[in-house]
Amino acid sequence: MPDNTPSKDTKILTADPAGLTRAAQLLQAGELVSFATETVYGLGADARQGEAVAAIYAAKGRPSFNPLIVHAASAEAAQRYVLWNGWAEVLAQAFWPGPLTLVLPLRPKHGISGLVTAGLETLAVRVPAQPSAQRLLQIFDGPVAAPSANPSGRISPTLASHVFAGLNGRIAAIVDDGACGVGLESTIVGLAGEAPILLRPGGLAAEEIEEALGQPLRQRDVQDPLTAPGQLLSHYAPNEQVRLNAAAARNGEVFLGFGAHQGSGPEDLNLSPDGKLTEAAAHLFDYLHQLDGLGRPIAVAPIPDEGLGAAINDRLARAAAPRD
């Protein structure tokens, strides 16, 4: 069965303690829960569970893996996952909770799935202001990865009924908390480099951020295809050469298998011995990192180009693309 066939009984939960406790339990169980934030309805999954994060992509039908924003209950909670700095402290004090996302270096032993960051060494974090989202995050007490709760290519939902119309049968539950206020995405600021940079304009004006920082934000270079709006600063790419659709490893290569295409070397890995695309997606970036660390070229087994396989192949094609 393709992994995006609608088969779930999507529950509508109320934004009261009983509904939010149920929503937190579902997240813990690796299920997808949509919840209201002050920007748009998010589609949440436990950011530590790779297969739950993969299910976000399957439910949305997203054709490509982009890094996701992790939602936390407070700045203290966010600091479990990222390395904090002076700019982050100033901006969190001034604007959290609120529609501002900060990109910071991952902390050692962060526990966040490689699929959330799409293999990058940085993480986007935000503390949402919507009281029901805050309470859900407090009860859950963990990191929640959440892009907008709409099928890929459709407009972002600002009502529970929009989410239901788009994702009914694909997710476990929706916490109905009425209409979202801002209706705009969060502003994203990168704080992992030598100066703060505006990665995406959004619900919080850049001028307000500059005033709080006491310095101008660097703008991204729109001529650079890797920093075009909506794209990330740079995609994760292995150092070593990657060869796709390989039946087996050749001389010197290490093998990244899938299903019955199994390597025979001691360091070879298999994305999913059972041929499950959700499991393969959950392992993709972590396994690429591991194999890349061996310093040998990487041969990758064929991945079926259906369901999540399309997003996996999209990312593998970028990893294999020639570059200088």
Q: Would you tell me which residues interact with Mg ion (CB under 5 A)?
A: 148
Chosen from Mg ion, ligand AMP, none, partner binding at 279 (C-beta under 5 to 8 Å by type): none
Closest to 132 (Cα-Cα) out of 73, 78, 186, 47: 73
- Helical H runs in 141-226? 160-167, 206-213
Among 44, 50, 67, 157, contact with ligand AMP (rule: CB under 6 A): 67
x/- letters, 212..231, toward ligand AMP (CB under 6 A) = ------------------xx
144 lies in the binding site for ligand AMP (CB under 6 A): no
Residue 304 CB, nearest approach to Mg ion (Å)? 26
- Which of ligand AMP, Mg ion, none does residue 166 bind (CB under 5 to 8 Å by kind)? none
* Shortest Å distance, C-beta 14 to Mg ion: 25
Q: How far is the CB of 147 from ligand AMP (least distance, A)?
A: 4
Q: Distance between CA atoms of 219 and 222, rounded to whole angstroms?
A: 9
Nearer to ligand AMP, 243 or 286 (CB): 286
Report the partner that residue 67 touches, choosing among Mg ion, ligand AMP, none (CB closer than 5 to 8 A by kind). Answer: ligand AMP
Q: Which is nearer to ligand AMP, 185 or 253 (CB)?
A: 185
Contact between 69 and ligand AMP by CB under 6 A: the answer reads yes
Q: Is the dihedral of CA 315, 319, 321, 324 positive or negative?
A: positive
With contacts defined by CB under 6 A, name the span among 6-14, 84-92, 122-130, 287-295 that binds ligand AMP.
122-130
CB 31 within 8 A of CB 172: yes
How many residues in the chain? 324
Q: Does 159 bind ligand AMP (CB under 6 A)?
A: no
Give the pairing type, strands 197-200 and 122-126.
unpaired
Does 122 bind ligand AMP (CB under 6 A)? Our answer is yes
Q: Does 152 bind ligand AMP (CB under 6 A)?
A: no
Contact present, 280 and 272 (Cβ < 8 Å): yes
The closest residue (CB) to Mg ion is: 148
> SS3 string of 25-84?
HHHHCCCCEEEECCCCEEEEEECCCHHHHHHHHHHHCCCCCCCCEEECCCHHHHCCCECC
72 and 127 in contact (C-beta within 8 Å)? yes
CB of 100 to Mg ion, least distance (A): 17
Work out whether the CA dihedral 61, 62, 63, 64 comes out positive or negative: negative
Quick one: which H or E segment has residue 123? Answer: strand 122-126
**Using CB under 6 A as the criterion, which residues of the chain lie in contact with ligand AMP when the complex forms?**
66-69, 103, 117, 120, 122-124, 147-148, 185, 188, 199-200, 230-233
